Structure 1
């Protein structure tokens, strides 16, 4: 499986003066306040901020799960902030892969069938789905776990299945929302090593995390507070998760995985 790494002169993401306002009864919540940001193809961006800062709303708009109240959002040349619901869903399925904290796997389906799921919505044949799913699982190191159901996999393995599922439609953007939030520190490093490897292949990744150690593996850091983007800076020397994982692998685990 090849990660989409086509170079583009235009930034992959262009968000200009985006506001998001929620009307909750008599109250109005201004979740985003004039956010403007550009993200180029192939960047690895960590998004941080306290609860209520606007980072989750930012990610929902990036992922075409929500519309801005004001402003514009352009993804891969598409003005997605203006697309109707059906076209928005099509763009989301074709352009974006999602990885969530809770894995969101089907408990009764094995790893192969879980990874095939986005391709069913994309209309691929059974043969195409199985081939791509096998390739994606091989890519994340689970080629020998195709028939295992989630209950038969560790937390780290379940998250790798979720990453494989996010990759099968060759997205231009991978959105990872707290992907290590349910994992121990050792397994978190393992997952970050996979994400860094995908980034080196050219995949654009935007990752939300509360953990500064996890954010330190990205090459750029964005920080939100009270609906404002208050910091946008490169990470001068990103941590090497593969080297960290190799060092941890030489140590005995604290408990059985």
Structure 2
């Protein structure tokens, strides 16, 4: 599903070169559940941006679902994001003036899905995360856990190859975080490939594989052996 070969990412800050990623090699197969961990400044957020086609490597090759994406232009990357990737963010990134249903419909609007079809798929996605009764509510009328479930529904409506979750439990209490992780486990059992970035050890331990970054390099990559 994911193949990173010799990935480097260098940012220029004035005359200084910041090596955010250095010679990263990472392969993630279909239906894996991977946690990316590391201290602040370790490169894990840069790694997530490259995996999500939000940024391009300075050097190296990135292949996603058989498509070499590391050399694509902005418009092509946007198309890959819409077709292949579902994003789930710590801050939910829901539009406050739209209802839950309208927020879930957004990716399908960009994909050119006809109105009747996208309404039907959005309703099913909300039903799948147990939020159909909140379909016509706005984000400020929902709890943090409900907003994150709306974000999960939105990430799933275009049937992406991979789900990328950036600190998905970071703004939630522990009970709600457990409910969100249970949703990820269900999605994994249904065949989704999931990669999440987290600074919380107890969240990382729920993944089946843990990849640790430090100073822009992978310093550990191990199977976790927990029950899905």
Contact in 1 for aligned 2:207/2:226 (Cα 8 Å): no
What residue is the counterpart of 2:116 in the other structure? Answer: 127
What residue is the counterpart of 1:58 in the other structure? Answer: 47
CA RMSD of the aligned region, Å? Answer: 0.8
The CA distance in 2 between the partners of 1:32 and 1:232, in whole Å, is 16
Which of residues 180, 190, 197 is equivalent to 2:179?
A: 190
What residue is the counterpart of 2:207 in the other structure? Answer: 218
Q: Which has the larger radius of gyration?
A: 1
Once the two structures are superposed, residues 153-198 of structure 1 have per-residue CA deviations (whole angstroms, 9 ceiling, x without a partner) of: 1000000000000000000000000000000000000000001000
Q: Any unmatched runs of 5+ in structure 2?
A: none
The CA distance in 2 between the partners of 1:224 and 1:135, in whole Å, is 37
The CA distance in 1 between the partners of 2:36 and 2:211, in whole Å, is 5
TM-score, length-scaled by structure 1:
0.88
Q: After TM superposition, which residue ranges in structure 1, 4 or more long, deviate above 6 angstroms? A: none
The secondary structure found in structure 1 opposite 2:146 is helix
Q: Any unmatched runs of 5+ in structure 1?
A: 1-11, 241-257
The secondary structure found in structure 2 opposite 1:135 is helix
Contact in 1 for aligned 2:5/2:60 (Cα 8 Å): yes
TM-score, length-scaled by structure 2:
0.99
Matched pairs, number: 228
The CA distance in 2 between the partners of 1:26 and 1:158, in whole Å, is 42
What residue is the counterpart of 1:17 in the other structure? Answer: 6
| 1:1-257 alignment, distance < 5 Å | 12-238=1-227
Once the two structures are superposed, residues 51-99 of structure 1 have per-residue CA deviations (whole angstroms, 9 ceiling, x without a partner) of: 0000000000000001110110000011000112111110111000000
The CA distance in 1 between the partners of 2:97 and 2:110, in whole Å, is 19
